[in-house]
Amino acid sequence: MNKRPENCMISEEDLRAALLEIKTYVDVTEEDLKKIYEIALRHAQERIATRVPVRNVMTTTVVTIKRDADLHEAARLLSENRISGMPVVDDDNRVIGVISEADILILAGMKKEHTFRDILRNILGEPVSSKKGGNKVGDVMGFPPITSKADDDVSEVAKILDDRRIKRLPVVDDEGKLIGIISRADIVRAIGKKP
């Protein structure tokens, strides 16, 4: 896409030249064409002005874990960093999954639809329903991961978070390597900064 210089105004001569270049009959006057262009330009500028790229609001310091890490390590990292989930990365820092508190609770026998009271009962030793197997992050992580790119629009990411009922998306480069994370909290902070 060609960028238009900020103070580039289209003249009537420019319009005439463009119409000649088309080499076909167009049933609009030069004045109509100029007005259409100005309106379209205004809409484009408004759209671009309201667009917020993920790179502007994402967190770049990200807590991660490897697939072969123990689930106790995952629970400790989530707890110590006061986060509800984190990306699972390979040795090249490519995102291969995501592990959340819910994944660990499911392993403990809690279903996703359980209430906080059910979780407390589980902690107190009451019987729980079927357990998912495994004691490594790779056994319970969510995959394939849903990710975002740095140039994606925050409003698109917010829709994905809402539709998928998740709290965060790893942000990756073109090779799938982790460069940040965007969460609901990051989006709320971005909205709070808007005038």
**Of all helices (H) and strands (E), which one includes residue 147?**
none
Q: What is the pLDDT of residue 49?
A: 56
Q: What is the pLDDT of residue 1?
A: 39
Contact indicator for 34, 15 with CB cutoff of 8 Å: yes
pLDDT in tens, 155-189: 889 999 988 888 999 999 999 999 999 999 888 88
Please report the domains of the chain, with CATH numbers, ordered by start residue: 12-49 (no CATH), 55-193 (3.10.580.10)
Q: What is the pLDDT of residue 111?
A: 53
Q: What is the pLDDT of residue 74?
A: 94
* The model's pTM: 0.63
**What integer best gives the mean pLDDT of the chain?**
80
Question: What is the torsional sign of CA 18, 22, 23, 26?
Answer: negative
Closest CA to 86 of 104, 94, 74: 74
Closest CA to 86 of 98, 77, 75, 97: 98
Q: What is the pLDDT of residue 138?
A: 92
Per-residue pLDDT band at 4 (split at 50, 70, 90): very low
Q: What is the pLDDT of residue 3?
A: 45
**Mean pLDDT on 4-8:** 48
Burial string for 115-148 (b: 16+ CB within 10 Å, else e) reads eeebeeebeeeeebeeeeeeeebbebbeeebbbb
How far is the C-alpha of 69 from the C-alpha of 88, rounded, in Å?
A: 10
**Mean pLDDT on 119-145:** 67
pLDDT in tens, 106-121: 766 555 554 555 555 5
**Mean pLDDT on 59-63:** 95
